[in-house]
Amino acid sequence: MAGGTAAGGQLTTTTDVENYPGFPTGVGGAELMENMRAQSVRFGTEVITETVTRVDLSSRPFKIWKEYADGPEQEAAHTADALIIATGANARRLDLPGEEKYWQNGISACAVCDGAVPIFRNKPLFVIGGGDSAAEEAIFLTKYGSKVTVLVRKDKLRASKTMANRLLSNAKVEVKFNTVALEVLGEPEPMGLMKRLKIKNVVTGLEEVVDADGLFYAVGHDPATALVKGQLETDDEGYVVTKPGTSYTSVPGVFAAGDVQDKRYRQAITSAGSGCIAALEAEKFIAESEGGDEPPLVTTSIEQSSTAKEEGKAPEYEYSTNPLL
């Protein structure tokens, strides 16, 4: 386990993956990852299953220390001419009573991944969260559930005006403000599904138990970037900043792929696609370095313009010093 996730990544924690291309009847998450590993080993990849505790990106070759072999005097376990950071992101949980029991048995943190599975068809579904993600997830779920109720802890939504309007005007959505979930209830183990949710209005104190076959968390993700904090440019939420459409980070020779740099899509297929981009760019970087085109090691200053920030516009970043761009 590293950062709470086993080797093989987040998909090893789920059962069937229904939306990965090439598998018309779905594929087990662990099986898909085992196959990806075997395929890459077949092409000569050496897989070292260790937890990385520290990296030094200040000069090349980059240095990598691993668990149980780290310390002020300890030599780095590995060095690398190019490095791809693909440490993922973990969905935040609420630690509700019943959460552990019904996680993936009704509770999910990804409507796009799980919304279409039969247990949610024409059933009452709940979403927790008040931001854009919660609004997007709830609207997506209206395609499958009989009704979607959004629980918002505060008395207003954090979502953008457009998303909030789309949510509030959807006939299949009810937004319950000032409301929190207290407990998930359902069928007994093993493999029992969630069936009800205990909720509470935090203003009136009223508690009730409601029918609920699905509960989707949209309370944020934590990117696994502690390792590179202060060494790579990260955004307000801790995601590694990459130049859009590429895997380039603020340090030449260091690339990022997957959920660690993608707070919008966070899908297996988008992660795999960005992993492919990173691999090609890392290979090109090494080939160019070996060809004598030694790029200077300079960090990029990636700043969101303050006006854009104030106006809540999508950030525009300046990338200037990476010689590969």
132 vs 59: CA distance, rounded Å: 39
Decide whether 5 or 170 has the Cβ nearer to ligand FAD: 5
CB–CB of 155/178 below 8 Å?
A: yes
162 vs 160: CA distance, rounded Å: 6
Whether the ω angle into residue 72 lies within 30 degrees of 0, i.e. cis, is no
Decide whether 86 or 175 has the Cβ nearer to ligand FAD: 86
* Region label for 191, one of left (φ > 0), alpha (ψ between -120 and 50) or beta (otherwise): left
Helix or strand holding residue 222 (H, E):
strand 221-223
Cβ at position 110, least distance to ligand FAD in Å: 5
142 vs 312: CA distance, rounded Å: 27
Cβ at position 105, least distance to ligand FAD in Å: 11
157 vs 164: CA distance, rounded Å: 7
Decide whether 138 or 224 has the Cβ nearer to ligand FAD: 224
Decide whether 61 or 273 has the Cβ nearer to ligand FAD: 273
Decide whether 101 or 266 has the Cβ nearer to ligand FAD: 266
113 is catalytic: yes
Cβ at position 202, least distance to ligand FAD in Å: 28
Strands (E), 34-73: 52-56, 62-66
CB–CB of 149/176 below 8 Å?
A: yes
Residues lying near ligand FAD in the complex (CB under 6 A): 2-3, 5, 7-11, 13-14, 17-19, 51-52, 86-88, 91, 104, 110, 113, 224, 227, 258-260, 266-269, 271
Catalytic-labelled residue, pool 16, 70, 81, 110: 110
Decide whether 2 or 76 has the Cβ nearer to ligand FAD: 2
What is the residue whose two structure tokens read 């789309």?
A: 166
- Through-space distance between the first and last CA atoms of the chain, rounded to whole angstroms: 35
Catalytic-labelled residue, pool 16, 56, 95, 114: 114
Compute CA distances 233 → 121, 243, 314, whole Å: 42, 11, 17
Closest to 184 measured CA to CA, from 94, 111, 120: 94
Cβ at position 47, least distance to ligand FAD in Å: 11
Cβ at position 253, least distance to ligand FAD in Å: 19
110 is catalytic: yes
Cβ at position 142, least distance to ligand FAD in Å: 19
Provide the annotated active-site residues. Answer: 110, 113-114
